[in-house]
Amino acid sequence: MGRRSLLAVAGWLATAVLATLVGVAAIRLVGESITGTPGGVRSQEEVERALATPAPTASGTSSPGVGEPTGPAGPGARRAFATAGGTAVAECGPGGVRLVSWAPAQDHRVADVDRGPDDDVEVTFVGPGGEHELKVRCVGGEPVAVADD
């Protein structure tokens, strides 16, 4: 084989390897954005902690649309909130409060979500009993449910 043929084969191989690497990188980038989980993926510890938290019960003392916090909270901690329409988890960060996850109660659906990060975030659940809105702000670095303005 001549020198020219050897250079042609080496050039072709280098081009094929480069094209393959670019293709794999593009598939990985597009695949993550298509198959990504909204609100992120929870770790095993987060799932166990959420399952260990007792289920929220209806309380006659809370005002309509304001969630009841469940679980401990501290600066930068996540806090779960419950309404008759569903539950949501929020956390405070440098950009403000953001909804980490939300789930409607049985026979309810999510009508609207403002997940943040922002000064306040909200999720609206709709079901047979009407509309249930949960609005959350950061107060002292902790997520707190607030009455709708």
3-state DSSP call for residue 142? Answer: strand
Contacts made by residues 16-25, CB under 8 angstroms, sequence distance 24+: none
> Of all helices (H) and strands (E), which one includes residue 89?
strand 86-93
pLDDT at residue 25 in the model? 83
Tokens describing residue 35: 């198959």
Tell me if 85 sits within 8 A of 105, measured CB to CB: yes
CA 122 to each of CA 53, 80, 131, 140: distance values in angstroms, whole numbers, following the listed order = 22, 13, 13, 19
- Other beta carbons within 10 angstroms of residue 56's beta carbon come to 17
pLDDT at residue 64 in the model? 39
Cβ neighbourhood burial of 136 (10 Å; 0-12, 13-18, 19+) = buried
Beta-bridged to residue 143, according to DSSP, are 138
Say how far apart CA 12 and CA 23 lie, in whole Å.
16
Tell me the per-residue pLDDT of 83-133, one tens digit each, with 9 for 90 and over.
999 999 999 998 899 999 999 999 999 999 999 899 999 999 999 989 999
Tell me the per-residue pLDDT of 2-51, one tens digit each, with 9 for 90 and over.
888 999 999 999 999 999 999 888 887 776 556 555 556 677 887 777 77
Beta-bridged to residue 78, according to DSSP, are 91
Tell me if 120 sits within 8 A of 146, measured CB to CB: yes
3-state DSSP call for residue 22? Answer: helix
